[in-house]
């Protein structure tokens, strides 16, 4: 909207941008873009993610069983951005995010929230994902569709989900949405949802177990 004058111009620009993106896999065409996007793009992060190898074409849809866990994950990675950009000033305004839930079903779930997996420091390493990526490869080879695992960012350690295939979605669109505001500053992160009213706060110590956060310069 900032660089166009009319809705027609905006649609034209969006269509041009869309043409530069990878094609949506045919199997995902029925899905809302919020659900299909993780399966559309190859992993560009040179480190990959916890259950996705660097530059892998197999997608992973990351989700959380509780919205507070999703907020904790988001707050951590936004904090990490500023930890790794020490000269970047704190944002003046809160960022706006949409939390959404989706419907899924699978009988092929690898649950590693219990022993002996829960004690595996490799699977739950804070920054080295090699062991978890190898586990995901093995899970895919055995036709597992979901990995259920403990969040290492949520202070309460609630469960996350790694959906390894779009086939598990039982509805093509999100079934519920909530709007959240996330503000980061020298004292930590604060998240607020207006309706229903709820808020979460993460102080400076919330994520210091991760060495990338431990040495962060908070005053800037």
pLDDT digits (tens, 9 = 90+) for 127-144: 999 999 999 999 999 999
| Structural domain includes residue 177 | yes
Which stretches of the chain drop beneath a pLDDT of 50?
none
What is the pLDDT, as a whole number, of residue 42? 81
Closest CA to 136 of 122, 155, 151: 122
Q: Please tell me the total count of domains within the chain.
A: 1
The length of the chain in residues reads 220
Residue 2 lies in a domain: no
**Phi, psi torsion values for 151, nearest 5 degrees:** -75, 130
CA distances from 104 to 52, 160, 177 (A): 20, 14, 16
* Residue 106 belongs to some domain of the structure: yes
pTM reported for the whole predicted model: 0.92
- The secondary structure element, H or E, covering residue 94 is none
Q: Which domain holds residue 69?
A: 7-214
Q: Is residue 43 part of a domain?
A: yes
The per-residue pLDDT for range 53-77, each reduced to its tens digit, is 998 989 999 999 999 999 999 999 9
Count CB neighbours of 109 within 10 A: 13
Indicate whether 220 belongs to any domain: no
Q: Decide: helix, strand or coil at residue 58.
A: coil
Has residue 204 been placed in a domain? yes
Residue 50 lies in a domain: yes
Nearest to 65 by CA among 102, 119, 117: 102
């Amino acid at each position: 909207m900032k660089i166009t004058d009319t809705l027609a111009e905006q649609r034209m620009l969006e269509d041009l941008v869309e043409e530069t993106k990878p094609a949506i896999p045919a199997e995902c065409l029925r899905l809302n873009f919020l659900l299909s996007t993780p399966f559309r793009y190859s992993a560009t992060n040179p480190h990959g993610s916890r259950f996705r190898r660097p530059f892998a074409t197999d997608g992973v849809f990351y989700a959380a069983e509780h919205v507070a866990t999703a907020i904790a994950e988001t707050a951590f990675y936004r904090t990490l951005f500023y930890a790794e950009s020490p000269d970047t000033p704190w944002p003046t305004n809160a960022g706006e995010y949409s939390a959404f839930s989706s419907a899924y079903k699978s009988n092929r779930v690898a649950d590693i929230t219990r022993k002996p997996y829960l004690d595996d420091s490799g699977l739950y390493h804070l920054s080295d994902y090699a062991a978890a990526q190898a586990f995901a490869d093995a899970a895919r080879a055995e036709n597992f569709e979901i990995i259920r695992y403990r969040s290492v960012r949520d202070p309460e350690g609630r469960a996350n989900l790694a959906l390894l295939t779009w086939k598990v979605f039982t509805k093509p669109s999100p079934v519920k949405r909530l709007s959240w505001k996330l503000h980061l500053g020298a004292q930590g992160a604060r998240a607020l949802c207006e309706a229903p009213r709820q808020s979460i706060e993460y102080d400076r110590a919330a994520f210091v177990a991760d060495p990338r956060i431990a040495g962060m310069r908070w005053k800037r």
